[in-house]
Amino acid sequence: MSRAPASPPSDVHARQVVFRVRGATKVYPMGEVEVQALRGIDLDLYAGEFTVLLGPSGSGKSTLLNILGGLDQPTGGSVFYRELELSGASNRQLTQFRRHAVGFVFQFYNLIPSLTAWENVSLVTEVASDPMSPLEALRLVGLEDRRDHFPAQLSGGQQQRVAIARAIAKRPDVLLCDEPTGALDALTGITVLEAIQRINTELGTTTAVITHNAAIGEMSDRVVTIRDGRVAEDRRVAVKTPVAELRW
C-alpha cells in the first residue's frame, strides 16, 4: 500500500496539479459513534486527466469526491484546489468555488423538475463568468432537439445527459461525477459515459468519476482504488478501451 501519490505519466509530466490532497481524514459523528470515512488520503489529480475513483460502497470514495467538490471539508489533513485551500475555505469561498470551477453530475440527475432541459442548463450559464451557450452544451450531449422538454418528459439516460450538459456549460475546470450510471441500465449508461468522455477529450476538462463498477475504469487514464478510507491502488491505464466496447 503506497502512501505516496502516483506520479504523473511521463508524457503529462509538465501538467499542472489541479487537486492536491495530503493526509486527508474525515470523521463523521453518527449519533453516539464516530465513523472514520477517510483515514489519510494522499492524492494528486492533474489537469485534463480522466480519473476513475473505484471502490465498494462505504469505502469513502463519495466522501472524497464531496471534499474535492467543496461540499464538505476534511476533519484533518489538507486539500488544495490549485492555490485555494479547500480544507480551510469559508462557506462563501466554497460557494464561489462550486459556482465557477466545478461541474457536478449526480447519480440521480437532480434536474430542477420545473425547468426545461434548456432552462436547467441556463440556470448555470446565467451565473457563470464564461459559459458556453446552453444550446451548445446540449449539442455536446446530443440533446439539442429535446431542449424544451421538462425532466418528466425525458428518459433516465436523457436526464443524465442534460445533467452533464448543465455541469459543463460553464466550462468548469473540473467535472466531478458521482456514480453517473448508477441509476441506469448498461446500454443507457454507455451513452452517458460517451458524453463524459467527449467532454474530457474535446474540452480538456479534468474529470473524476466515482463508481463501484470496475469496468468503467478501462475507459479512463487512471484508476484510483479506495478501500477503507485509504488509497489501496493507483494505476495508469495503458490501453484505453473504447466506451462502446465496455460491458458490465
For the record, the C-alpha cell of 93 comes out as 469561498
CA dihedral 7, 12, 15, 18 (to 10 degrees): -50
CB closer to other proteins out of 226 and 243: 226
What is the contact mask toward other proteins in residues 158 to 177, using x (rule: CB under 8 A)?
Answer: --------xx----------
Interface residue with other proteins among 3, 82, 88, 127 (CB under 8 A) is 127
Helix (H, G, I), strand (E, B) or coil at 190: helix
119, amino acid identity: E
> DSSP letters of 46-100?
ETT-EEEEE--TTSSHHHHHHHHTTSS--SEEEEEETTEEGGG--HHHHHHHHHH
What is the contact mask toward other proteins in residues 57 to 86, using x (rule: CB under 8 A)?
Answer: -----x---x--x-xx--------------
Interface residue with other proteins among 49, 178, 194, 234 (CB under 8 A) is 178
- Placement of cell 437532480 in the chain: 110
CB closer to other proteins out of 107 and 207: 107
Interface residue with other proteins among 123, 135, 203, 215 (CB under 8 A) is 123
CB closer to other proteins out of 161 and 166: 166
Q: What is the 3-state secondary structure (H, E, C) of 72-85?
A: CCCCEEEEEECCEE
* Residue 136: how many other CB atoms lie within 10 Å: 15
150, amino acid identity: F
For the record, the C-alpha cell of 246 comes out as 465496455
Tell me if 96 contacts other proteins by CB under 8 A: yes
CB closer to other proteins out of 46 and 104: 104
Residues near other proteins (CB under 8 A), total: 36
Interface residue with other proteins among 108, 185, 186, 214 (CB under 8 A) is 108
Which residues form the interface with other proteins (CB under 8 A)?
62, 66, 69, 71-72, 92, 95-100, 102, 104, 106-108, 110-115, 119, 122-124, 126-127, 150-152, 166-167, 178, 183
